[in-house]
A and B are shown apart, each in its own frame.
Chain A
């Protein structure tokens, strides 16, 4: 009887642990109250940034809400329509004031047509933030009228 009660308690504890891990977002996914850091993607589109004649680069634009005079580390995750997700290098963006606009160019990342999803991750001084997921589509390419 005593053994059963202990087992039930352990099972309840484990269930509570499992449920809480499912409903509470990980620290980096959501800014906690009082957190100063957050990041947003306002636009992302394919372009020929390199000028190699191929529209296979991506321009990402957005805003970082930050503490003045902080250097925020930012990286992006790009999910293409086919294949593995791409994790970019980290960029350091210096915030002068409480918010900073950014424009980052990702080179040669568009390999397939279709919808791409991009998200930005920012970190500064043990604070982490993740942006909205922005969906874009290369849309088309050159060709005869039709």
Chain B
């Protein structure tokens, strides 16, 4: 990576959907140089080639309930668990972790009222000896995200210049507002075409609008109307930058499961977006879960800060290269006649049958 690459990544972080013209102006390079540079960033696996900007869907707005699960499992079953996750129709994310939990963080977005079916499914996996145990966390409020801010990265020394003391001071000094509410469901105003559009946006949000319209089979004007509807109803929570495994040269991924009062969670909900590293923050019923990709040298600093404020902190290292961020509406046939399929067969039996086959 050179100076220009960094400026491109900064600009992309500022405006993930910014068109090439805007990006080239922002970076102060020609349009053709920008395209060449972007293609090089993809080829060198710094940006993820199949789509380096992904829409983060607000699951509550599409009638889904989000659940985070830490799964403990024996090492020899890890590949099997990844297969299990791949087979589940409502899996959203999985990542291997080592530390307080040796196993996985798996995120599911299941139809509202079907968490019990998910638990049933996990219990069956325990019975089958695939997992040892699991713990469930229900995010109570909207998440917070950050993307890398490469303005803090010094390319010459290869280090991040971030003032952790200042960050810690901001936690203490700034009064935190209440946690953000989830937007209400607008599922009744959506159909299968919407789910297809959201799927395409989760794969590659920078895809040309006319290609998305063609893929979904709708005229472009209808797509524009639907995009406006999503914006008005907060269907899309954020646009995430998706990095390839080459980013591991700069940072390493960690997970913190922190427990304390809501006031501490509120403080961190405000502080986390000030980090210059890619992160996801989930407020849960007991505290919060924080995923952050930071330089290995900064890991003890953030861990110490979290220990200072939270009564309990569980720490895990994550394997980013083995993570899987599933595209939205990934299981064909999961959305039918305006609602999510929520039968026991679809969510439990069929998945187990496929696994055993």
- Chain A residues within 8 Å of B, Cβ to Cβ: 53-54, 56, 81-82, 110, 112-114, 135, 137-146
Contacts and interface: CB of A to CB of B under 8 A. Distances in A.
Contacts of B56: 146
Interface in B217-265: 240, 242-246
A54 B240 contact: no
**A82, A137, A145: which has the most chain B beta carbons within 10 Å?**
A145
Contacts of A114: 203, 215
Contacts of B188: none
A93 to B, nearest CB: 23
B278 A144 contact: yes
Interface stretch (B47-55, B161-169, B297-305, B338-346): B47-55
Contacts of A140: 324-327, 330
Closest 3 CB pairs of A and B: A143-B325, A140-B326, A113-B203
Q: Is the interface of A mostly helix, strand, loop or mixed?
A: loop
B242 A143 contact: yes
A146 B280 contact: yes
A142 B48 contact: yes
A53 B325 contact: no
B324 A141 contact: yes
Contacts of B71: none
Contacts of B49: 54, 56
A13 to B, nearest CB: 40
**B50, B86, B203, B278: which has the most chain A beta carbons within 10 Å?**
B50
19 contacts: A53-B246, A54-B45, A81-B215, A113-B204, A113-B327, A139-B330, A140-B326, A141-B51, A142-B320, A143-B54, A143-B242, A143-B323, A143-B325, A144-B145, A144-B325, A146-B54, A146-B143, A146-B280, A146-B325
B291 A145 contact: yes
A144 B204 CA distance: 15
A143 B327 contact: no
B245 A145 contact: no
A144 B321 contact: no
Given A141-B50, A143-B243, A146-B240, 19 more contacts: A53-B244, A81-B215, A112-B50, A113-B204, A114-B215, A135-B332, A138-B50, A139-B326, A140-B324, A142-B48, A142-B243, A142-B322, A143-B323, A143-B325, A145-B93, A145-B105, A145-B282, A145-B291, A146-B325
Contacts of A145: 93, 95, 105, 107, 280, 282, 291, 325
A144 B327 contact: no
Contact of A144 (B50, B293, B322): B293
Nearest to B50: A113
Contacts of A110: 50
B284 interface: no
A51 to B, nearest CB: 12
Given A53-B45, A144-B279, A139 B93 contact: no
Given A53-B45, A113-B327, A142 B105 contact: no
Contacts of A54: 45, 49
Contacts of B327: 113, 137, 139-140
A146 B93 contact: yes
A137 B323 contact: no
Contacts of B107: 145-146
Given A113-B203, A114-B215, A143 B50 contact: no
A146 B92 contact: yes
A142 B51 contact: no
Contacts of A142: 48, 242-245, 320-325
Contacts of A146: 54, 56, 92-93, 107, 143, 145, 240, 280, 325
